[in-house]
Chain A
Amino acid sequence: MSALVNVLVVEDGEEYTENLSRFCTDGFAFTRAGDGGAALGLLAEGTYDLAFLDMRFDRVQPGVLLGDLAETAERFNGDPVRARQFLEEHQGAYILAAIRAAGHTLPAVFSHDFDGEPRRWANLVRLYAPVSYLPDNAAPSDIRETFLRARRHVRSA
């Protein structure tokens, strides 16, 4: 295993990649994927120690969103607008679902605050473990610490 921690950052902007590159330079390498399809492509081609996932993807074209729009619209009283919004707001979960479905077991870290949603977090752990999360107010040191714990988990697994 390389000394560097290879992190696949999946976000629709570039803020995480910029901040992480600036403040977590010691022992980390970051690769950005702008949507779920790009993330799956990178995972198929390379090896990553963990995936860092933004949750909300409202700056991508609707066509690249993962998830079944028609099926989701059926859940929301046939409303395609609400369905698209739902897919955007929770796209991180759909991407992780696709990563697991493709057979990738690397640890994943959500950038999302689940502090007030214990039941939802338990569901996500059940569905996608190994997984963790960092709330919106996480400092770079918190992020670094979480990434290092993720790699220790991989080594111990």
Chain B
Amino acid sequence: MSWLLWAAFALATPAFAAPEDALDAATRPFFLKAVSEEAAGRAGPAGQLYRMVLTSDPGFLPASLGLGRSLEAVGDTAAAEALYRSLGDEADAVEALAQLVEARDPAEALALWRRLRTLRLGDSLPYREEARLLAGTEPLAAMAAYDTYVRLLDGATPHGPTLLALGAALVDAGLAADAEQRWRAYLDAFPAGDVALEVGARLDRLEVERAAESLTIGGSEPLPPEVLPRYAAAQAAMAAGDLDDAAEEGRALIAAAPRSAVAHALLADVLVALRAWEEAEVHAILACALAPDDPSNRVRLGLLLSEAYGGRRDREAVLELREAAVLRPGDTEVQLVLGRLEQALGSADPEGYVRAQAAYERALANGASGATAAEIAARLDALRHTPPSPPDVPPSRAPHLPAEALDHYRIASVYGRRGRTAEAVVELDAALAISPDAPVLLNKRAQLAGLSGAAVEPWLIRSLEADPDQPSVLLDLAAIAHKRGDAAGAEQRYAQAARLGSADAHYELAALAEARDDWAVVREQLAAYEAAAPGRASQKAPAATRLRERADARLWALRAGFGGGFALVVGLPLLFWARYRTARTLRDLLDTAPECWHDAARLLAALRHEVLKHNTTVLPAVAEALARGDTAPWEAFSARAPTLLAHFRSYLAQLEALGRRHGKRLDLRRRDPILGPMHTALARLARTRRPPRADDLHALSALINGDGYQAIGRLVREICVLPVTPERAQDVYKRIVTEPGFAGAPVPALGVVEREQGLAVRMFRADFEDILANVLRNALAAGAQRLDVELGAFDDPVTGHAWVEVAVVDDAPGSLTNAMIRGRYIGRGLGLAVDLINRHGGSIRVDARPDGRKAVVVQLPSVEAAPVEVEEWTVS
């Protein structure tokens, strides 16, 4: 009777009843064993046991669910799905099924979560999952589900990733206010929540974007002429590394031209260099908002977000860079930067790796070269690399123990790995009771003793007595002796271990010898260590390397007699040598970062003008005067020489600052094959007080005014020369007509007329192709039925300058005038083309053609690569 009462109580109070209580006594152990196997990660045996339970009690739901989980774990998802479906409206089965089918059929998963709402009234989970699933497609419904989820949580912390995903979806859907409301509610209630930092950052971003929106009306305005000197001053200050001055000029510039994207971009760059991230971000956003079609603004903002937030805002950063890549598909650098970020995000979004690969491939197709191409190739190789098949791991060899002792040993090992030392000790002692002299048991017991703070040494000694050939045990015993101050005992044990082939023992013997200042033994033992541990395959390798350095230093110091001056004699020169070897030249910079060509060319032209022209060009005349015994010209030059050297060094510093901004450390004085010798010659002139020999002066002049001058000219002329050819025009056109905007539409064939051959401009390929693409795209969009490109040249009637002319001639209806182009009453694309043309010193105009068509004519400064020799007085 009492048993019946107990049973009735147990059934009536399920909170105190375990699930297996519903099973009969014979089946229950199988269920418990199945649970235990599943917990240990052995899904196969667990599944078998669950099946046995179900054979006995087919209606026992926990076993069905366990079998489903086991089937999933071994990869048999079809069987798991069928099993869950067979369980009908069992809430746990519906939940498991929803999770299982989500990847394949999100719609069914959503329906299942909704079904679960009615099966588990008051449960928040179905609403959370509904919000998560709907965030990307139905943000309003997702928002309603999320609100219900939060209500049902009744004050508990909401799931952070769901909140962030929902907020992002609301912002994308133009419901930023709703996102903000939910983010603020989260921050108010859970200021230290898991995603509080991220939510705070996103709220900041919303506020900044809102501020930016208020300034975007009307778009960017050009800098007024009166502030251009200030703009130039800010650029010069930045180039010279005077960042505070540059920031001050930049702020004044914005005060004078608050709607200039160029001004905001400049100040953002300065503030990034100053690492004033917050203010830099504001100006980068404003530049982007004022000139959204300028890809450089997108790139700037993307890089800033990535760098300033340590990766936390890489998702936003990558969106900016994707925009930039769309605006400038032919820009290698943009594609590379985009690829890097997509790759960095790949761990969170596997599609990121695919997008990264595509970006790298576009960059390579654009003609990446040099170090850029090498980096892209390495990244692509890594992304395409497939893992090898899992190797067959040989089964571990069990120690030679009686079976019962072996069982205890294994159980003790599992307990030990889980940190349950006391249980492990019990099991191991049971094993030792069976095999008291087994070294493997004694060593494990010593290990457990150490974990529990008990004495280790007795166990190790017993182990060594059982098997004296154990280097690791000898090392442990030596370490114990060393720790208690028994250096002799430690050395004895280490020596025994060394004789048994232990490399680490040799290192420890060397370390002991160092302590007693016995450097001969140190070197001897280190040599033995290096012989016993080839390839530094030892945990002691770093320490051994440091000890080797100390020993070598000691040897050097002894040999050279410099003692503590070792660092001055060897270390510092080594440091300088290393810095010298890793520094780059100006050509390295221009090859790997051609976008800095304009700045570098400007600085080099100024250097030639300020230092050479009017100054060093007089050196031959000074030398001739010295040869005649007239020292006055030399004295006049010598007085100016230190100033000239200072000017020269100032230009080198500006060029090196330019390199740093593009991630390259230049050492122009020592490494550059052009500027280095010129600097050496100028320095020699500056420190020479007495009149030199005329021949020496002639030699220095030849180096500066001859070789150096010519080399600078060649360097500037050879970079960034882009041939303008019919093939390039056709390639651009082919790319345009495959764009989604023209896909399937009838487009005319492009006629290209090359009026002159050998045309070239100095600009990046991407910029030139952007200009041409935008003009062509504009003509197609306006409805051109006939379209031609004419490539020719125009000679300035006063200055003689040659200009490359690219005329896009079309018969599109409607009018396009110079005023429309310059006033930007045109599509964004043509506005971008005008900006690029202005940036490269060119012009654009609209001409009427006699046949009634119109031509958009782009003029760009021509590049003439071939040098000219002037040998005779030139007459026409």
Where the two chains meet, the residues of A that have a C-beta atom closer than 8 Å to any C-beta of B are: 15-16, 19, 22-23, 67, 75-82, 90, 93-94, 97, 107, 111, 113-127, 129-133, 135-141, 149-150, 152-153
Which residues does chain B contribute within 8 Å of A113, judged by CB atoms?
713
Contact present for B800 and A123 (CB under 8 Å): yes
Q: Is B864 within 8 A of A132, CB to CB? A: no
Specify the main secondary structure of chain A where it touches its partner. Answer: helix
Q: A77-B844, A116-B864 are in contact. List 16 more A-B contacts (CB 8 A).
A: A19-B617, A22-B618, A22-B636, A77-B821, A81-B225, A113-B713, A118-B866, A118-B867, A126-B876, A127-B797, A127-B800, A132-B874, A135-B709, A139-B701, A140-B620, A152-B873
Query: Given the complex of chains A and B, what is the CA–CA distance between A137 and B795 in angstroms?
Result: 27
- Residue B609 interfacial (CB < 8 Å): yes
* A93, chain B: closest CB distance, angstroms: 4
A122: chain B residues within 8 A (beta carbon): 800
The reply to whether A77 and B837 contact each other, CB–CB distance below 8 Å, is: yes
Contact at A94–B876, with CB atoms within 8 Å?
no
Nearest CB of A to B758, in Å: 10
Please give, as numbers and ranges, the residues of chain B lying within 8 Å of A117 by CB-CB distance.
Answer: 802, 864, 868
- Contact sample, A vs B, 21 pairs, CB 8 Å cutoff: A19-B617, A22-B618, A23-B633, A75-B859, A76-B843, A77-B837, A77-B845, A97-B798, A107-B873, A116-B713, A116-B867, A119-B862, A123-B795, A123-B802, A127-B797, A130-B874, A130-B875, A137-B608, A137-B706, A140-B617, A149-B873
Show the binding face of B for A, using Cβ within 8 Å. Answer: 225, 228, 608-609, 612-614, 617-621, 624, 633, 636, 701, 705-706, 709, 713, 717, 795-802, 818, 821-822, 834, 837-838, 841, 843-845, 859, 862, 864-868, 870, 873-876
The answer to whether A139 touches B709 (Cβ under 8 A) is no
Q: How far is the CA of A113 from the CA of B617 in the complex (A)?
A: 14
The list of the 9 closest CB pairs from A to B, nearest first, reads A123-B800, A129-B876, A118-B868, A136-B613, A137-B709, A139-B620, A23-B621, A140-B621, A15-B614
With known contacts A23-B633, A120-B802, A130-B873, A77–B617 Cβ distance under 8 A: no
Task: For B616, give the chain A residue with the smallest CB separation.
Answer: A137
| Selected contact of A120 from candidates B613, B614, B801, B841, CB within 8 Å | B801
Q: Are A121 and B614 in contact (CB under 8 A)?
A: no
Interface contact A137-B612, CB-CB below 8 Å: yes
Which residue on B lies nearest to A124, using beta carbons? B800
Give the residues in chain B near A131, CB-CB below 8 Å. Answer: 874
Task: Specify the chain A residue showing the minimal Cβ separation from B704.
Answer: A137
Give the chain A neighbours of B876 by CB distance below 8 A. 125-126, 129-130
Q: A77-B822, A77-B834, A77-B843 are in contact. Are A125 and B621 (CB under 8 A)?
A: no
Instruction: Collect the chain B residues with CB atoms within 8 Å of residue A135's CB.
Output: 709
Q: Give the most central of B608, B799, B841, B845: most A CB within 10 Å.
A: B799
Query: How distant is A18 from chain B, measured CB to nearest CB, in Å?
Result: 8
A136–B617 CB distance below 8 A = yes
Chain B residues with Cβ below 8 Å from A22 are 618, 633, 636
**What are the residues of chain A within 8 A of B797 when measuring CB–CB?**
127
| Closest chain A residue to B714, Cβ basis | A116
Asked if B874 contacts A150 (CB within 8 A), the reply is: no
Residue from the list A129, A133, A136, A141 in contact with B621, Cβ < 8 A: A141
User: Who on chain B is nearest to A72 by CB?
Assistant: B798
Question: Which chain A residues border B845 with CB–CB below 8 Å?
Answer: 77
CB <8 Å contact, B843 and A136? no
Q: A97-B798, A141-B621 are in contact. Are A121 and B843 (CB under 8 A)?
A: no
Query: Which residues of B sit under 8 angstroms from A16, Cβ to Cβ?
Result: 614
CB distance from B779 to the nearest CB of A (A): 19
Q: Would you give the shortest CB distance from A123 to chain B, in whole angstroms?
A: 3
Distance A67 CA – B797 CA, assembled complex (angstroms): 12
Chain B residue nearest to A121 (CB atoms) is B868
Of the residues A78, A126, A137, contact of B613 by C-beta under 8 Å: A137
- Tell me the nearest residue of chain B to A23, going by C-beta: B621
CB distance from B801 to the nearest CB of A (A): 6
- Give A81 Cβ to nearest chain B Cβ, in Å: 5
B865 touches A78 (CB 8 A): no
Nearest CB on B from A108, distance (A): 11
